[in-house]
Amino acid sequence: MLEKRAPKAPDARQLTNEWNLKVYAGVISGLMAFTVRPFPGLPSVGHAIVVFLYCAINLIFCFTNLEFNKPSNFAARFGWMSTGNIVLACFLGLKNTPLALFASFSYDGLNIFHQLVGYTAVAQMVFHAICYMKWEDMKNNWGKILEPENWEGVAAGFAMVVLMMGFLRRLGYEIFYISHIIGVILTLVFLGLHRPYWVWKICIASLFAACIWAIDRAIRAWRLIFNFVDNRATLQALPNGGVKLISSKQLAWASPGSHCFVWIPGIRPFETHPFTIVSNTSSGLELIMKSHSGFTKSAYNYAVSNPGASLRVSFDGPYGSFPDLARYDRIVLIAGGSGATFTFGLAATVLDSLGPDSTQFVDFIWAVKTKENLVWFSEQIAKLKTHASHVSLSLHVTSDTEGICSDETLVSDTEISPNIVSMAEITEKSDSDESPPSTDEKLQARPAKVNEMHTAHGVKYEKLRAEAMIGEAIQATKSDGRVLIASCGPETLMKAVSAAATRYMTPDGPSLDIHCESFGW
């Protein structure tokens, strides 16, 4: 029989081990809290460190081992550095990035570095041109600049300036997009022609960049063609300019929370737009779009004028990465407005994978401006409510006031079109099997029913206090537990979330990870 031994009091060696472990945990959590902290102009201090290292490496490589009195040496070095950065910018701009195979990288997270590397390449190209002009001027040999290969270099330089126009993309996305594609092709072609000798390796670099870019485009085109076969989508107008898209086919390998590019040739034949996947089951893929002034506005108008009609659709995706949700004991999901497509997607992934003994818990926090926006995700809200033992739901309406329904919105919605799904209708669908009421009856019933539904879901009419809510969730987790805070929405919300989360990263508390998703790059 085994004898039970009383545990020994810790000796000096054990105490040192414990102390070492505490110091180690303190350093790691301190470092993590520091790197995820917001940084002016960049998403985090971690990003700022990478940017600093990248700039330092570039400066070192640009200015070491040079004869400082010869402008031609500077010119050649800047030319080489610019070429290297063009290849790197192409690599970082790939939608199907090979980095995703090795770590949880996604093109959207890398885009900020793609932009930085692109701007650096343009700056180095400008210095390259200035130094060569200075050199030829010193030799009084301006004719050299007009020689064919140098003209091709000048053309590559102008094409790179077109690429730099990316910073204007918010003014007109389609113009930016087309100019970027033309700019890439012209840059790589003229760069190769600028120094077309294999021995100088510049054309090898441009050929390599052209190949990875073309392979990426080919993968995307193939996906769009493949997913186009037998695929149709119905569009349903939602209040406040929302549109729900449901496709007839499931998108392979796509989990809710990831995103895909949507192509609806019947609405905009030459455009694809990224949207986050809310659900993806055998009955189809579901997206929720907030309408702006381009494709989304046309999709909304189509849904209003053609209720129940279906259109041919295709998807390129899935894209995006987020942490492995199964690793966390508690998942705090915080969204603002249409950012909820991401958090509802993640919540669905967690709930669908819950085992019978699972103790995982989700804090679902969502803020919207008006009550009517809650309708966009009424089915998802209902699903969360059926998992009450695993989910705490906190819905905030920040612009409306309690008891006052946004009547103006309701009336104007109905005047524009009776085809917009309202919260009242959703409530009616679940409440009764009777014949549907007339539009007038609906209009009268709406404010009361909308309010009823809000009361049922415990909607709060107050600002979202991210810090306090994150604090409550963390305090409710065991100190050896793991917490994920995932957020999507306006920049101000995400900054507040990461600032709040870093405050709770302590060696004595649960381990904490943050993931912020944004709808732009």
Ligand X SMILES: Cc1cc2nc3c(=O)[nH]c(=O)nc-3n(C[C@H](O)[C@H](O)[C@H](O)COP(=O)(O)OP(=O)(O)OC[C@H]3O[C@@H](n4cnc5c(N)ncnc54)[C@H](O)[C@@H]3O)c2cc1C
* Candidate list 108, 286, 316, 372; residue touching ligand X; CB under 6 A: 108
* Candidate list 35, 76, 169, 394; residue touching ligand X; CB under 6 A: 169
152 in helix, strand or coil?
helix
Distances (CA, A) of 188 to 148, 161, 204, 471: 17, 13, 11, 51
Give the shortest CB-165-to-ligand X separation in angstroms. Answer: 13
Subset of 348-407 contacting ligand X (CB under 6 A): none
Stretch that binds ligand X, among 46-54, 166-174, 393-401, 479-487 (CB under 6 A): 166-174
Give the x/- contact pattern for ligand X in 276-305, rule: CB under 6 A. Answer: x-----------xxx-xxxxxx--------
Measure the CA dihedral 122/104/392/373, to 10°: 40
Give the shortest CB-377-to-ligand X separation in angstroms. Answer: 11
Exposure string over 336-356, b if 16+ CB within 10 A, otherwise e? bbbbbbbbbbbbbbbbeeeee
361-368 and 391-397 strand pairing: parallel
* Candidate list 13, 139, 170, 463; residue touching ligand X; CB under 6 A: 170
**Distant-in-sequence, close-in-space partners of 266: CB < 8 Å, separation ≥ 6:** 302, 311, 312
Tell me the two tokens of residue 117.
């590397």
Distances (CA, A) of 179 to 118, 222, 331, 469, 482: 15, 23, 41, 44, 45
- Cβ closest to ligand X, residue 288 vs residue 303: 288
- Cβ closest to ligand X, residue 120 vs residue 280: 280
Give the shortest CB-243-to-ligand X separation in angstroms. Answer: 8
- Name beta bridge partners: 368: 397
Give the shortest CB-408-to-ligand X separation in angstroms. Answer: 22
In angstroms, the first-to-last Cα distance of the chain is: 67
* Candidate list 54, 173, 228, 461; residue touching ligand X; CB under 6 A: 173
How many residues belong to the site for ligand X (CB under 6 A)?
Answer: 22
Subset of 501-520 contacting ligand X (CB under 6 A): 519-520
Query: Position 84: which residue type?
Result: G
- Cβ closest to ligand X, residue 485 vs residue 488: 488
Subset of 29-88 contacting ligand X (CB under 6 A): none
Give the x/- contact pattern for ligand X in 216-255, rule: CB under 6 A. Answer: ----------------------------------------
Q: Binding of ligand X at residue 274 (CB under 6 A)?
A: yes
Asked if 203 and 192 count as a contact pair (C-beta separation under 8 A), the reply is yes
Task: Say which residue the tokens 């670099």 belong to.
Answer: 205
**Distant-in-sequence, close-in-space partners of 434: CB < 8 Å, separation ≥ 6:** none
How many Cβ atoms sit within 10 Å of the Cβ of residue 187? 28
Task: Say which residue the tokens 């700019």 belong to.
Answer: 183
Nearest-CB residue for ligand X? 294
**Which of 275, 316, 322 is CA-nearest to residue 105?**
322
Give the shortest CB-519-to-ligand X separation in angstroms. Answer: 4
Strands (E), 63-198: none
- Cβ closest to ligand X, residue 132 vs residue 519: 519
- Cβ closest to ligand X, residue 287 vs residue 405: 287
Give the shortest CB-259-to-ligand X separation in angstroms. Answer: 4
Sign, CA torsion 385/386/389/391: negative
Stretch that binds ligand X, among 16-24, 79-87, 130-138, 269-277 (CB under 6 A): 269-277
Tell me the two tokens of residue 124.
């180095």
* Candidate list 91, 275, 322, 344; residue touching ligand X; CB under 6 A: 275
- Cβ closest to ligand X, residue 182 vs residue 456: 182
- Alpha helix (H) ranges present in 324-465? 340-352, 378-385, 407-416, 423-431, 439-456
361-368 and 330-336 strand pairing: parallel
Give the shortest CB-269-to-ligand X separation in angstroms. Answer: 13
Give the shortest CB-88-to-ligand X separation in angstroms. Answer: 22
Stretch that binds ligand X, among 116-124, 167-175, 186-194, 459-467 (CB under 6 A): 167-175
Q: What is the 3 state secondary structure string of 460-484?
A: ECCCCCHHHHHHHHHHCCCCCCEEE
- Alpha helix (H) ranges present in 139-237? 148-163, 173-194, 202-228
- Cβ closest to ligand X, residue 139 vs residue 170: 170
Q: What is the contact surface with ligand X in residues (CB under 6 A)?
A: 108, 169-170, 173, 259, 273-276, 288-290, 292-297, 338, 341, 519-520
